[in-house]
Structure formats: C-alpha cells, structure tokens
Amino acid sequence: MAEFVHFVYKVAIIIRSRKKRLRVLKLLVLICAIVYVIYIYSTYLKRICIEKKREFLEFQVIKTFHYNNVIYQSPIAHLHQPKPKTFNRYTRKPVRLFVIMSMQRSGSGWFESLLNSHMNISSNGEIFGQKKRRQNLTSIINTLDRVYNMDLITSSSKNDCSAAIGFKWMLNQGLMEHPKEILDYFSKRGVSVIFFLRRNIMRRLVSILANSFDKDARVLNGIHVSHVHSHGEALLLSRFKPTINVTSLKSDLGKIESTVMKALEYFNCTRHIIVYYEDLIKNPYKLTQVEDFLKLPRMKLSSRQVKIHKGPLSGHINNWKDVNNTLFGTTYERYLKSDY
Ligand SMILES: *[C@@H]1O[C@H](CO)[C@@H](O)[C@H](O)[C@H]1NC(C)=O
Ligand SMILES: *[C@@H]1O[C@H](CO)[C@@H](O)[C@H](O)[C@H]1NC(C)=O
Ligand SMILES: *[C@@H]1O[C@H](CO)[C@@H](O)[C@H](O)[C@H]1NC(C)=O
Ligand SMILES: *[C@@H]1O[C@H](CO)[C@@H](O)[C@H](O)[C@H]1NC(C)=O
Ligand SMILES: *[C@@H]1O[C@H](CO)[C@@H](O)[C@H](O)[C@H]1NC(C)=O
C-alpha cells in the first residue's frame, strides 16, 4: 500500500512538473512570439522611415511651370582625386564635385555664402563671370579642369579640408550654349548639380531692376552694392521702387521660365537636387538636405547677408496697378500673390 501511495505521489510529481514545464514552455513561446512581433513591427517602422527619408531626399516635386515633375537622383556621388598643378596637396582625401546652376538675382549669392560657411565646402563663386573663361568650349573645359583640380584660387578656396568643390554657374554664362559637351564633362567626372532657383520670378525681376538702378544711383554712400549685410542698408536700397515695362512683361516672364525649363531638361540626367530660394527661407532644413546630397557632415551654416526686398510685392513696384492688370487672369497671376 505504501508502495502504491509512493508510486501515485511520484506520478503526481511527474505530471505536475510536466504541467509546470508545459506552462513554462507555453510562457516561453508566448514571450518569443511577443518579441518576434515587436521586432518585425520595429523593422517595418524603420523601413517605412528609411523609405520616407529616401523619398524625401531623392524625389523633388517641382510645382511651378504648369505641371508637376518628379525628378530622380542617382544615389551615387562620385569621388574624385584632385591633382593640383599649382600646389602640393598634403591629404589624399578624395572630394566630390558640384556646380550651382542659377540665375542672377535669385539669392544664389546668399546660398553660396551659406555653403561656404561649411568647413568642408569650397564653392568658388561666379568663375564664368569673366568673359575670356567662357569664350569658347576649350576655355570653358580648361576653366572647369582648373577649378575642379583646385588650381583656380579664389577667396573661398579651402584646400586640404575640402570634401566638396564647386562654383556658381549662371545660365547666361555659356552654359546653355554648349549643353551637350558640358553634360558629357559632368557625367565623365561625376559632377553633382544643385539647381538654385526662384519660384517667384517676378521678385527676381524687381531685384534685377533695382540692382541696375543702383548701379547708376549708388544709394549707399556712392558705392554700388549687390548684396548688403545690415537691415539699415537693405531698407535704404529697397526704397527705390522700379517701374516695370508692362508691354514686355509677359514675354519677359515667359523667357525666364523657358530658360529654366530648358536647363532642367538639358541637365535632367545628372545627379541633381533642386533648391528653391523661397523654400530655403521658409525651411532651413533644406540646407541639411543639400549637405546630405553632397554627402558631407551636417553643420550649422550661416551667412551675414541680409534680404533687401521684404513684404508684399505691391510695395516694391511703382506701377503696381498696371502690373496687376497685365498679369491678372493669366498664368503668371500666381507671381502677384506670394511673399518673399
Ligand atoms: C578660345 O578662347 C581663347 C581665349 O579665352 C583663345 O585663346 C583661343 O584661341 C580660343 N580657341 C578657339 C578654338 O577659338
Ligand atoms: C572637414 O574639415 C575638418 C577640419 O579641417 C577635417 O578634420 C575633416 O576631416 C573634414 N571632413 C571631411 C569629410 O573631409
Ligand atoms: C517696353 O518694352 C517694349 C517692347 O519690348 C519696348 O518697345 C519699349 O521701348 C519698352 N519701354 C520702355 C520704357 O523701356
Ligand atoms: C526628367 O526626366 C524624367 C525621367 O527621365 C522625366 O519624367 C521628366 O519629364 C524630365 N524632366 C524634364 C524637365 O525634362
Ligand atoms: C488685381 O486686380 C484685380 C482685378 O482688377 C483685383 O481684383 C485685385 O484686388 C488686384 N490685386 C491687388 C493685389 O491689387
């Protein structure tokens, strides 16, 4: 009898421990399942986040020019080993090449001064402002070779710590006369393109007229300036209200639009990013996007330049009524409204 009781007792223990083991096993399975679900969910979230980021970085939607246009950028940014002839480069650090394509009075001077405040960016200004550098294709290619090999010394050259080398090229400085050959050069050397444009080209027109007025008037102590570094100076300059020729206004705006469109078409297949002046003013994160595009470490960038024309456009144009009447109800009407 005692033996039987002992046996039953043993069986009970086995069953209980089996039950216990089963319970533990169940618990383990449950924990595993939970961990697995959490893991899957988090990687899913991460993937979505990365995808969103990539979408954000690689696709730019251009909303101007009557249609929406999504432009793809190749994620590869070529590295390049400069071989300067004019000095010894101590580091063997490779660099990335870029060009800022823009138009006069678009705020690109401000943009470039922001870029140059990055310790690893050397953007050499409007190097094709000098006519002899763009007289023919040979001189253009020579100039490109010199700037990208760091042989063109400008005020913003930073030799050894440079990780990105570029310059500013205005669309009317020989760029649109040899698009095929220049495109070839860009593809061969892996030059990344930053389009720096204005959404409101009417504002650009005001800036052009005011600037050409100041070339003669020299409002600031008899010196002509294109960019200013204080609010007082900006106010003084913005007091001049240009009168806009409404006879040619629509065709002038049309010409600017078509030049920009052509440039976007010609250089569409380069690795590029489009930055609008207006977006940069509203959202400084655009600069981070540019740093990422150039694959540079992120830094706080700053500029001393101050904006000249502020507030609604109507306050900056002498014959506002005529301008409004000319553009109202046309495709250019949107230029009357927006600020900046
Ligand atoms: C191109 O322009 C340069 C001056 O910048 C000149 O010396 C050269 O002869 C020109 N070449 C041709 C092929 O016209
Ligand atoms: C940027 O410049 C700093 C300072 O000269 C240097 O230490 C650093 O390596 C540079 N970064 C890159 C990516 O070249
Ligand atoms: C305005 O533009 C028209 C057409 O281009 C031109 O004929 C006219 O002379 C211009 N007016 C002024 C004041 O510049
Ligand atoms: C640029 O290329 C893309 C795709 O190749 C095309 O859809 C788009 O219309 C082009 N944009 C311009 C301005 O030519
Ligand atoms: C422009 O003109 C239209 C119609 O003539 C008028 O309704 C509108 O208020 C004007 N806009 C401005 C900003 O003056």
Would the CB of 265 count as within 6 Å of ligand 4? yes
What spacing in Å lies between the alpha carbon of 29 and ligand 5's midpoint?
Answer: 71
What phi and psi values does residue 78 have, to the nearest 5 degrees?
-65, 145
Spell out the domain ranges in the chain. 1-62, 63-337
Q: How far is the CA of 266 from the centre of ligand 4 (A)?
A: 10
Alpha helix positions (H), 218-295: 231-238, 246-266, 277-282, 285-293
Helix count (H) and strand count (E) of the chain?
11, 8
Instruction: Using the mean position of ligand 3's atoms as its centre, give its distance from the Cα of residue 314 in Å.
Output: 21
Residue 163 has pLDDT above 70, yes or no: yes
Q: Specify the pTM.
A: 0.73
Ligand closest to CA 70: 4
Q: For residues 206 and 335, give the distance between their C-alpha atoms in angstroms, rounded to a whole number.
A: 12
Among 120, 150, 298, say which to mutate for ligand 2: greatest number of ligand atoms within 8 Å of CB: 120
- Choosing among 3.30.70, 3.40.30, 3.40.50, 2.60.40, the CATH entry for 63-337 is 3.40.50
Cα–ligand 5 centroid distance for 311 (angstroms): 17
Q: Percent helix, strand and coil across the chain, each rounded to 5?
A: 50, 10, 35
Residues 177-223 have pLDDT tens digits of 999 999 999 988 889 999 999 988 888 888 887 776 655 555 545 55
Asked if the model's pLDDT at residue 260 lies above 50, the reply is: yes
Which of these, 293, 299, 298, lies nearest to 57 by C-alpha position?
293
Rounded to an integer, the average pLDDT of 19-32 is: 87
CA 156, 159, 162: angle at the middle one, nearest 5? 85
Q: Is the dihedral of CA 310, 311, 312, 315 positive or negative?
A: negative
Residue closest via CA to ligand 2's atom 14 equals 163
Question: Ligand 1 within 6 A of 138 CB?
Answer: yes
The pLDDT assigned to 170 comes to: 94
pLDDT beyond 70 at 265:
yes
Cα(213) to centroid(ligand 5), Å: 27
Residue 144 has pLDDT above 90, yes or no: yes
Which of 233 and 108 is assigned the larger pLDDT?
A: 108
Distance CA 144, CA 140 (A): 6
The lowest-confidence range among 68-72, 173-177, 213-217, 319-323 is: 68-72
Work out whether the CA dihedral 187, 141, 143, 280 comes out positive or negative.
negative
pLDDT value of residue 66: 31
pLDDT(272) > 80? yes
